[in-house]
């Protein structure tokens, strides 16, 4: 009998460039550089990021291979691993049995039915921003939308997590300390050279102080809520649900595990939703006809009352605008993975340790799946023009973001409350570029003028 020899697959195509040149191109315009490489080499190509070569995939089939069918052969990428300094072993960074255990324990707390009871907390958390926009409309003073949305989503996440357990003073500490901590974490994730963690840089020292301040607040609230749980009143906020969660053997999350999950939820539910709302308001300002239709829909459903969770399914155009915003500007625009075993992706054989990234930004603008892919067309969602695997702003597969329902509810309620009473314009058109860091956001301030 003859022996069948399987020829090795060719190397993925990619540019022949030095690490320095590739680093400069990525630093100058990462999204533009990746668009150029896809146009030159196709939906799967090699790109050098620092000392490592990464297989970048931008096609739904390859994304499904990485995130679903062969998910067990991958772990989170090196950038996300660096987040453990701040996040510990929360769902975003945990692997293996730790991740499976936490996911099983936490999943029921993120079902729509459990979250709907928190809708009023989100609306109340958004009321100071609603008041600020009305005052701005009366005075004609412009507001920087990105900062306002960061504040409202931080208050909303804190309210969902802790209910009334966070004092005004503690909320002020969180508002002051979380941004520098997130900025330092993002800087470490983006860095291609890992400085020693013990090196006393100013940013590192500021981050460490912020982490201690936040840890103290979270520890106090967890201790207080443990005592309430023992007294039979654990609370209906998200922390209360997590405290009450039990596995098949009756075990729950430890205080340290709760701390890590709380910090992960602050990170995942704060800046990402703020960026989505910022892009939404910017897009509606650029498309006043769509904005007028959204506001007519809101007036027809809500009148003068506040939105509730039950209202959201009755606002199809607003939901379509949010979905289209997430398609054009996915907050988590890149999903990095590292192979834990030899694996075949997009027709290429990769060794253990190989780096693979799914570029959600390019995938969701793929012309084969989205007509007029770079244009804001919310009506495509009302017409049902959608390819499921070509839309994954929350990821795909077993590690899909557990908070996707919470994020959509939060964005919908806040947008409904704000747009019910004000019309937004951006006189200068707003920034046209994008900052592609850990998350995707406009590359400059969005200064808006509001009108009653």
- Check pLDDT > 50 for residue 5: no
Instruction: Write down the pLDDT at residue 356.
Output: 96
- Check pLDDT > 80 for residue 23: no
Q: Which long-range contacts (CB under 8 A, 24 or more apart) does 217-224 make?
A: 217/166, 217/170, 217/173, 217/174, 218/259, 218/262, 218/263, 219/255, 219/259, 221/162, 221/165, 221/166, 222/255, 222/258, 222/259, 222/262, 223/255, 224/165
Instruction: Write down the pLDDT at residue 4.
Output: 44
Residues 311-324 have pLDDT tens digits of 999 999 999 999 99
Q: What is the CA radius of gyration of the chain?
A: 23
Average pLDDT over residues 138-147: 93
Domain 19-451 superfamily per CATH: Cytochrome P450 (1.10.630.10)
Residue stretches of the annotated binding site for heme: 401
Distance from C-alpha of 38 to C-alpha of 20, rounded to nearest angstrom: 20
Which has the higher per-residue pLDDT, 224 or 302? Answer: 302
* Residue at token pair 């003859």: 2
- Check pLDDT > 60 for residue 176: yes
Average pLDDT over residues 183-211: 70
Residue 252: exposed, middle, or buried by beta-carbon count in 10 A (0-12, 13-18, 19+)?
Answer: middle
Q: Give the DSSP H or E segment for 194.
A: none
Pull the structure tokens for residue 263: 């910090």
Distance from C-alpha of 13 to C-alpha of 42, rounded to nearest angstrom: 8
* Residue at token pair 């409904």: 416
Residues 391-408 have pLDDT tens digits of 999 999 999 988 899 999
The segment with the largest mean pLDDT, out of 58-72, 156-170, 373-387, is 58-72
Q: How confident is the model at residue 197 (pLDDT cuts 50, 70, 90)?
A: low
- Check pLDDT > 50 for residue 90: yes
Instruction: Write down the pLDDT at residue 2.
Output: 44
Average pLDDT over residues 39-43: 95
Instruction: Write down the pLDDT at residue 395.
Output: 93
Average pLDDT over residues 241-248: 83
Which has the higher per-residue pLDDT, 2 or 298? Answer: 298
Which has the higher per-residue pLDDT, 280 or 169? Answer: 280
Q: What is the mean pLDDT of the chain?
A: 87
Q: How confident is the model at residue 165 (pLDDT cuts 50, 70, 90)?
A: low
Q: How confident is the model at residue 3 (pLDDT cuts 50, 70, 90)?
A: very low
Q: Are 197 and 248 in contact (CB under 8 A)?
A: no
Q: Which of these ranges, 62-71, 173-182, 216-225, 397-406, has the smallest mean pLDDT?
A: 173-182
Got the DSSP string for 43-93? SEEEEEETTEEEEEE-SHHHHHIIIIITGGGEEE-HHHHHTHHHH-SSTTT
DSSP 195: -
Phi (first) and psi of residue 425, to 5 degrees:
-130, 150
Which has the higher per-residue pLDDT, 102 or 421? Answer: 421
Q: Look up the pTM and report it.
A: 0.91
Instruction: Write down the pLDDT at residue 214.
Output: 84
Among residues 402, 373, 400, 399, the alpha carbon closest in space to that of 386 is found at 373
Q: Are 321 and 26 in contact (CB under 8 A)?
A: no
Instruction: Write down the pLDDT at residue 1.
Output: 42
Which has the higher per-residue pLDDT, 211 or 119? Answer: 119
Domain range summary for the chain, segments of one domain joined by +: 19-451
Q: Give the DSSP H or E segment for 24.
A: helix 19-28
Distance from C-alpha of 343 to C-alpha of 263, rounded to nearest angstrom: 33
Distance from C-alpha of 128 to C-alpha of 135, rounded to nearest angstrom: 11
Residue stretches of the annotated binding site: 401
């Amino acid at each position: 009998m003859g022996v069948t020899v399987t020829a090795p697959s060719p190397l993925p195509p990619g540019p022949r460039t030095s690490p320095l040149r590739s680093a400069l191109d990525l630093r100058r315009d990462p999204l533009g550089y990746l668009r150029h490489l896809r146009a030159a080499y196709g939906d799967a190509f090699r790109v050098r990021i620092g000392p490592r070569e990464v297989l970048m995939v931008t096609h739904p089939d390859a994304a499904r291979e990485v995130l679903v069918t062969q998910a067990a052969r991958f772990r989170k990428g090196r950038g996300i691993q660096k987040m453990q300094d701040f996040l510990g072993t929360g769902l975003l960074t945990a692997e293996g049995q730790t991740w499976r255990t936490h996911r099983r324990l936490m999943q029921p707390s993120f079902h729509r039915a459990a979250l709907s009871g928190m809708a009023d907390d989100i609306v109340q958390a958004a009321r100071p921003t609603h008041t600020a926009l009305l005052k701005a409309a009366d005075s004609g003073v412009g507001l920087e939308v990105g900062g306002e949305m960061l504040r409202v989503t931080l208050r909303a996440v804190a309210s969902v997590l802790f209910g009334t357990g966070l004092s005004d003073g503690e909320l002020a500490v969180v508002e002051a300390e979380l941004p520098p901590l997130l900025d330092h974490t993002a800087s470490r994730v983006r860095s291609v050279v890992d400085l020693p963690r013990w090196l006393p840089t100013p940013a590192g020292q500021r981050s460490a102080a912020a982490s201690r301040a936040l840890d103290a607040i979270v520890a106090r609230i967890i201790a207080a809520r443990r005592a309430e749980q023992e007294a039979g009143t654990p609370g209906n906020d998200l922390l209360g649900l997590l405290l009450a969660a039990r596995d098949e053997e009756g075990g729950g999350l430890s205080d340290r595990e709760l701390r890590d999950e709380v910090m992960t939820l602050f990170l995942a539910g704060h800046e990402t939703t703020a960026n989505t709302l910022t892009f939404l308001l910017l897009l509606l300002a650029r498309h006043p006809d769509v904005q007028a239709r959204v506001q007519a829909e809101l007036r027809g459903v809500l009148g003068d009352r506040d939105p509730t969770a039950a209202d959201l399914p009755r606002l199809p155009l607003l939901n379509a605008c949010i979905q289209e915003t997430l398609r054009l500007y996915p907050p988590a625009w890149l999903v990095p993975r590292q192979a834990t075993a030899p694996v075949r992706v997009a027709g290429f054989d990769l060794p253990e340790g190989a780096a693979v990234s799914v570029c959600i930004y390019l995938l969701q603008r793929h012309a084969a799946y989205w007509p007029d892919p770079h244009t804001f067309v919310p009506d495509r969602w009302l017409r049902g023009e959608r390819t499921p695997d070509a839309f994954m702003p929350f990821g795909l597969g077993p590690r899909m973001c557990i908070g996707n329902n919470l994020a959509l509810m939060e964005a919908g309620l806040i947008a409904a409350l704000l747009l019910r009473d004000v019309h937004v314009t951006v006189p200068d058109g707003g920034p046209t570029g994008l900052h592609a860091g850990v998350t995707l956001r406009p590359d400059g301030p969005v200064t808006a003028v509001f009108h009653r």
